[in-house]
Structure 1
Amino acid sequence: MKRVLFSMVLLLVASFTFAQEKNVKEAKSIANGVNPDFAKAEELINQALTNPETKDNAETWDVAGLIQRKRSEKEMENAYLRKPYDTLQVYNSALNMCKFYFKCDELAQIPNEKGKIKNKYRKSNSATILAERGNLINGGIQFFNLASQKEGDAANEDNKKALDFFATYIDIAINPMFEKENLLQTDTVLPQIAYYASLAAAKMEDYPSILKYAPYAQDDKEVGKYAMEFISTALKAEGDTVKWIASLKEGIQKYPEHSFFFGHLIDYYSNNNKYDEAMQFADDMLAKDPNNTFYLYVKGYLYHNMKDYDKAIEFYKKTIEVDPNYAEAYSNLGLIYCLQAQDFSEKATTDINDPKYK
């Protein structure tokens, strides 16, 4: 009796597995048809993607990617024929296709029982992904712009989608599928996309994503300094003071003309009464650029906080000599004069009978 029951269980499992494999084949057939019912194809493949019998098969994920590719092609065909088409569907299909093909490749790279890897999907799927990268950029821009027109949760939702597109574009460059392409060195657009990924993440205060993607933009001549700003801000927000200070110092060395790093580092030293370290850093920077108004101003600011007013006046005046329009230097100079006048007034006697009173 037990043997009969066991046989029945085996038959049921085999039947269920066959049903899921049939779903994969049917979904593929529908996608490749002349008038494909993509909703039906997606319904079938989604069952297979979550079923234990088929979710770990590379073929399942390859078909899932194929369906998205065919959906995109159909929309582009409609556009060519001047029929109504869904631009967002094209972008979303490109995004989903990339993710499905990533998973397909990951599973296909698992060695078989003989220890050999037979990945029949990589060549064709990698070429398809490379051809669709432009739609990842377009999709990211679309949702980023939509987010800028909204507030609160609605804006965050679109920023999250924008980040997903931009991040996937960068993930392509670091995926083993594209190792031979050397995209980190050859793709001149990638640093800009990494910056936009960081910007979208910053709007949501998604600091882990900033720390993951901003480094790919930090050497770019146009946006590198801003990417490093994001990194520093994220490290501070996560409470990693050691790495935060290190990032500020790195930013100063890489982008000395960008005041963000120097200003925040000096603020840190000043707020923690580390004036000797702050002054040494200010001196080092002035040695490299003696007429830099910001560095001159900062040195005056440090003396100001140390209550060495004569030295503060000296460097505020030097700042004004280099830049007569440096408003903060004038403001602080005036403040010091007021403090000195107040101090003098308090020390001066007002007793008319005092011999010192004249």
Structure 2
Amino acid sequence: MKKTILMLAVLFTAVAGSYAQKGKVSSASTLKDSGKLDKALEAIKEAIDPNNPKAEKSIPWPRTWEVRGEIYHAIYKSKDENIKKLADDPLKTALDSYKKAIELDEKGKGSNGVKINLTLLINDFTDQAVKAFSDDNYNLALESFENILDIENLPLMKDDAAAVDTVIIFNAGLAAYNAENYDKAIKYYKEAAEYDYNGARTYELISACYTNQQDTVNALTTLQEGFEKYPEASSILVQMINIYMTANKTDDAMKYLDLAIEQDPENASFYFAQGALNDKLGNTEKAVKSYEKALELKPDYFDAYYNLGAIYYNKGVKQLDVANAVPTNKPDQYELEKNKADEEFKKAIPYMEKASEVNAEDTYALESLKQLYYRLKMMDKFDEVNKKLEDLK
């Protein structure tokens, strides 16, 4: 009989020790509810301290970690700056705590409470991400979006009818892009593209990531994939054309430019690009026609006016070289060639004047006009332009 009493006493002592530490968890929860977060944090730290022999029973208890998550979440929500200083990354610590609670809760007894807490955590990670993005803290925004995805991918948070959160996936890509973490940006953008999120724009952003990594091959491959999927997306064509032009692949650039014009014949910028490409190839007459078409569609197109003026200005300069190459003993021929140059300079003036009218502060157009007026001895206009340039300094 004495042995039985002794065994019961030992058992009671062990159970009491277990409840003592679980009581510490309950105490931490009560302190949290009463707003005493510093005391709550001390209590929960004691309950999970592996060096504390009394924590042997509370460490593997799922509720311990759920309460820990609630305390750190409350620290994040606190308006008291002294409380906020208690943790460096309270939301992430709360998430890790809830995940630990799920891991230990093999029977799922506390799953509903943890699920509610995780849902609340998503809201705060979202707020943190939005604020970080507006503060240009793109790394924190990325981490926040990734934590949201981590929560949403937990088995506890998923069901057969759950929709993929493409908005968060895309925003994670956007944050990564702005953080110049292009590998992660590509990863998330590609995932968004699999669900057709944001259409052609997502392919453009993937291509931009590759371009920033100096990977022209994958940049073009991505755009071609996007164009096959969204053949009406002229913006994809524009990026392809720009890459081909930058790489001096003029034949490919012209092919896609013609296709772009076919798709959107009222787009002045396509005709301007066509003009610039023809100008680069030395197809001057075709370039002039393309620029004129751009101006027909967009009468205030500064770049088209300027480039047309530059075409005639450059033709005048070349013709002047011809005149200067005439032997000095042939003054009549020199005058003839020089007059041809002046005719080209005269053609340049209306376009440069119009360019300057569209953008009165552009010094390049004014400098060109200054030289043209001086060349053609139009001194009144020369003085007028010279004064404008002085005023802009």
Same fold (TM over 0.5): yes
Partner of 1:136: 125
Alpha-carbon spacing, 1:355–1:326, altered in 2? closer, same or farther (3 Å): closer
Q: CA deviation at 1:340?
A: 1.8
Partner of 1:276: 251
Q: Which stretch of structure 1 is more off in the superposition, 165-174 or 248-257?
A: 248-257
Q: CA deviation at 1:271?
A: 2.8
One-letter code aligned to 1:43: K
Unpaired stretches in structure 1, ≥5 consecutive residues: 1-20, 110-116, 149-157
Q: Which of 25, 38, 41 in structure 2 is aligned with 1:39?
A: 41
Q: CA deviation at 1:322?
A: 0.5
Partner of 1:285: 260
Whether 1:159 aligns to 2:160 is no
- Residue pair 1:194, 1:216 contacting (<8 A) in 2 also: yes
One-letter code aligned to 1:242: V
Aligned runs of 1:99-118 on 2, under 5 Å? Answer: 99-102=96-99, 104-105=101-102, 107=103, 118=107
| 1-structure distance, mates of 2:84, 2:42 | 21
Q: Percent identity?
A: 22
Whether 1:169 aligns to 2:158 is no
Cα RMSD for the two superposed structures: 4.3
Partner of 1:341: 316
Q: CA deviation at 1:46?
A: 6.2
One-letter code aligned to 1:32: S
- Residue pair 1:198, 1:230 contacting (<8 A) in 2 also: no
Q: CA deviation at 1:334?
A: 1.7
Q: CA deviation at 1:307?
A: 1.7
Aligned runs of 1:114-129 on 2, under 5 Å? Answer: 118-120=107-109, 122-129=111-118
Alpha-carbon spacing, 1:130–1:336, altered in 2? closer, same or farther (3 Å): same
Q: Deviations over 1:191-242 (max 9, x none)?
A: 2x44544443334322233223345666555xx6765554333223334433
One-letter code aligned to 2:42: K
Q: CA deviation at 1:289?
A: 1.0
Alpha-carbon spacing, 1:203–1:343, altered in 2? closer, same or farther (3 Å): same
Q: Which stretch of structure 1 is more off in the superposition, 300-309 or 205-214?
A: 205-214
Q: CA deviation at 1:24?
A: 7.8
Q: CA deviation at 1:165?
A: 1.8
Q: Report how many residues are paired.
A: 304
Aligned runs of 1:2-13 on 2, under 5 Å? Answer: none
Unpaired stretches in structure 2, ≥5 consecutive residues: 1-17, 337-393
- Residue pair 1:231, 1:247 contacting (<8 A) in 2 also: yes
Alpha-carbon spacing, 1:254–1:311, altered in 2? closer, same or farther (3 Å): same
Aligned runs of 1:280-319 on 2, under 5 Å? Answer: 280-319=255-294
Q: CA deviation at 1:280?
A: 0.9
Q: CA deviation at 1:330?
A: 1.6
Whether 1:350 aligns to 2:326 is yes
One-letter code aligned to 1:136: F
Partner of 1:155: none
| 1-structure distance, mates of 2:213, 2:90 | 35
Taking structure 2 as the reference length, what is the TM-score of the superposition? 0.61
- Residue pair 2:75, 2:86 contacting (<8 A) in 1 also: no
Whether 1:179 aligns to 2:158 is yes
| 1-structure distance, mates of 2:190, 2:176 | 13
Q: Which of 238, 241, 253 in structure 1 is aligned with 2:213?
A: 238
